[in-house]
């Protein structure tokens, strides 16, 4: 069994991942600022060692990588890395020191897609600082892995969903009023024809991919894996399913994006634009084939698990 250090382990994914790793017999260390609590309780948290450290402050002082290496991990899971500089700093410190580094990336390493569902190896044209930086991090880590310098794996979640926080809604943003309006049977306006897509994943299934990547190290080193539900949903299909889930006939209207955005808050319109301009739809075939990934949750089941808590 391994000593596994998770950087940022008390968040959405960590809520499921850390108990899973403890139950598998690993020695689990969570690096955190000590501000967050897992979204769900689990007895296994009593067996997680907590190290309080602020990554931002330690990186600024040039000490973060050495501090993580100093915890003597066999495996490191980096949940909260967002810049190539931050990734390189950690990678430099871990080369020759760990059996496996797992980096949590994003499906937004892709910009717009050409064929769907998109495969990990399809050409990437990221846009927006977040996706561009995550793409550069991924290239750097997988290059080091393929040169035999650092055994790294990248896991790319879709829109992470679970009980406790608001899921990306059928209008493509995070304002949970949309779910209350659907529950109350009000008409929901969607942009365009409602045929753009979003691709959720339950946090438990992201944890599954990470755990399987550890278990199947020889297949996962040097590789990136999408961590998404079995299939993306169209906004229209998602909205219709949610109306029915609340016991209503779907009541939808459709407007051009320019007209639609006039009826919502600017930050909601921006979030929708960020999602539908990419219209993610990604393949899980590689994770199924190489890791044995079997998602427990469809997109709709994952969202409904979240909304049931949100509106209870």
Ligand X SMILES: NC(=O)c1ccc[n+]([C@@H]2O[C@H](COP(=O)([O-])OP(=O)(O)OC[C@H]3O[C@@H](n4cnc5c(N)ncnc54)[C@H](OP(=O)(O)O)[C@@H]3O)[C@@H](O)[C@H]2O)c1
Chain residues in the site for ligand X (CB under 6 A): 8, 10-14, 31-36, 53-56, 79-80, 104, 106, 157, 159-160
Of 167 and 191, CB closest to ligand X: 167
3-state secondary structure labels for all residues of the chain: CCEEEEECCCCCCHHHHHHHHHHCCCEEEEEECCCCCCCCCCHHHHHCEEEECCHHHHHHCCCHHHHHHCCCCCEEEECCCCCHHHHHHHHHHHCCCCCEEEEECCHHHCCCCCCCCECCCCCCCCCCHHHHHHHHHHHHHHHHHHCCCCCEEEEEECEEECCCCCCCCCCCCCCCHHHHHHHCCCCEEEECCCCCEECEEEHHHHHHHHHHHHHCHHHHCCCEEEECCCCCEEHHHHHHHHHHHCCCCCCEEEECHHHHHHHCCHHHHHHHHHHHCCCCCECCHHHHHHHCCCCCCCHHHHHHHHHHHHCC
Beta carbon of residue 121, minimum distance to ligand X (angstroms, whole number): 19
Of 87 and 243, CB closest to ligand X: 87
Of 243 and 295, CB closest to ligand X: 295
Beta carbon of residue 15, minimum distance to ligand X (angstroms, whole number): 8
Beta carbon of residue 104, minimum distance to ligand X (angstroms, whole number): 4
Of 117 and 243, CB closest to ligand X: 117
Beta carbon of residue 63, minimum distance to ligand X (angstroms, whole number): 13
Beta carbon of residue 130, minimum distance to ligand X (angstroms, whole number): 7
Beta carbon of residue 200, minimum distance to ligand X (angstroms, whole number): 8
Give 228: exposed, middle or buried? Use CB within 10 Å, 0-12, 13-18, 19+.
buried
Beta carbon of residue 255, minimum distance to ligand X (angstroms, whole number): 26
Distance CA 98, CA 275 (A): 36
Of 49 and 259, CB closest to ligand X: 49
Of 100 and 278, CB closest to ligand X: 278
Of 98 and 209, CB closest to ligand X: 209
Residue closest to ligand X when measured from CB atoms: 11
Q: Are 232 and 117 in contact (CB under 8 A)?
A: yes
């Amino acid at each position: 069994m391994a000593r596994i250090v998770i950087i940022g382990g008390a968040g959405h994914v960590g809520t499921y991942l850390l108990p899973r790793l403890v139950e598998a017999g690993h020695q689990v260390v969570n690096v955190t600022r000590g501000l967050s609590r897992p979204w769900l309780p689990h007895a296994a948290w009593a067996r997680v060692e907590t190290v309080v450290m602020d990554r931002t402050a330690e990186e600024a002082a040039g000490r973060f990588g050495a501090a993580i290496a100093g915890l003597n991990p066999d495996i490191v899971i980096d949940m909260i890395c967002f810049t190539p500089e931050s990734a390189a700093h950690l990678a430099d410190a871990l080369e020759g020191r760990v059996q496996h580094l797992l980096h949590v990336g994003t499906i937004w390493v892709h910009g717009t897609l050409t064929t769907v569902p998109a495969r990990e190896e399809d050409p990437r044209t990221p846009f927006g600082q977040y996706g561009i930086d995550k793409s550069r991090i991924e290239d750097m880590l997988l290059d080091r892995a393929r040169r035999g310098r650092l055994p790294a794996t990248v896991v790319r979640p879709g829109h992470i969903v679970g009980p406790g926080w608001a899921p990306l809604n059928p209008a493509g943003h995070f304002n949970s009023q949309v779910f209350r309006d659907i529950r109350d049977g009000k008409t929901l306006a969607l942009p365009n024809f409602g045929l753009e897509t979003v691709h959720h994943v339950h946090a438990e299934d992201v944890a599954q991919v990470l755990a399987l990547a550890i278990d199947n190290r020889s297949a996962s080193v040097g590789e990136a894996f999408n961590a998404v539900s079995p299939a993306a949903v169209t906004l229209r299909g998602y909205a219709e399913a949610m109306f029915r889930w609340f016991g209503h006939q779907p009541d939808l209207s459709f407007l051009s994006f320019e007209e639609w955005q006039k009826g919502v808050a600017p930050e909601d319109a921006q979030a929708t634009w960020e999602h539908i301009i990419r219209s993610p739809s990604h393949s899980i075939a590689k994770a199924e084939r190489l890791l044995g990934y079997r998602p427990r949750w469809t997109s709709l089941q994952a969202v409904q698990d979240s909304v049931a808590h949100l509106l209870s």
